[in-house]
Structure 1
Amino acid sequence: MPHSEGLPPEINSHNIWGGPGADSIEDAVRAWASLRREICDLGSQFDQILLCLMDDWSGPVAIRVIDAATPFLRWLDSLDAKLFATERHIRRIGRAFFNARRDAVHPILIDANRAQVLALTRDNEFGQNNAAIAALEDEYGRYWDQDGRAMWWYRQELSNALSRLTPWQQPPPIANNTGLVQPVPLPTGS
């Protein structure tokens, strides 16, 4: 991840205040929460089907079906936990973004500072604006420091949240490892 704290404040502030911003993060949180609800519902439905199966069906084939489905149910539970963690980390990234945006200098202030320096420099034939230019440059240096700190903290929080995301495991096979379902041969010729 590039170190944005070394960039001038007009770039950092415009980046953090412009673009899709917080809306895209909130959209991501809602999407992960929705996916988690769907997975949770799927697990509940799957579990309910197995409970009904146990009530209505018995014998070695029923036991093999339940044994084959149990790892998939465990995987759904694990996936639900991973989705919850992902949603939590995206929320954390969102908070870090909001904090960085809050702490960064608003681009209007930076643009006004740079415009004032330019205007005073153009009309400084005799050095009469040197003190005002120096004060504005000092203010600009503080903007640089403030944005650098905001972006450094944002990068730390972002890196930390992203490093906690772990890969998901593939779902286990259900039917093909029990011998209960065999592939159907396709007809040959027309």
Structure 2
Amino acid sequence: MVTQHGKPMFTKVCTEGRLILEFTFDDLMRIKTWHFTIRQYRELVPRSILAMHAQDPQVLDQLSKNITRMGLTNFTLNYLRLCVILEPMQELMSRHKTYNLSPRDCLKTCLFQKWQRMVAPPAEPTRQPTTKRRKRKNSTSSTSNSSAGNNANSTGSKKKTPAANLSLSSQVPIASIARSPVSGCALRT
């Protein structure tokens, strides 16, 4: 980006950077986010101006100071600060334009809707409750040792189905959805 400035003196500023734009997925192709990274910048003062003020050290000192901040003027930086302040108010302004409400009513409705979203999060898909079944105890004597009891259970019991061999840990889902109290969004753990 090359800009030319006339005040306080004629200066040419060359700014090198990278601009990354992310658009919304609608027909209007509005900019969703943007990120501009400045890699380097140069402020170029013509030699004719330097030659005119070569004997005056105060003017040379002023010429050596930067006119811009990292290649951006103070006017541009103030505009970007204003955009950062106004960006959260975008929803209020669009509601005011759409519904022709007063600013106070727009603020009330926006706050109420955000409160509703926080209090009543979107419903999760309902899961069918698993039915827990109790296993019958075999009628073995309580005085027999555990190995003998296990042998008696394995030989004297009926043939078990494959579903009965599954442990409780295999019936619990691997991924669960949790609500993060910090960000308020759903996380998969």
Structure of higher RCO (CA pairs closer than 8 Å, 6+ residues apart): 1
Larger radius of gyration: 2
TM-score (norm 2): 0.29
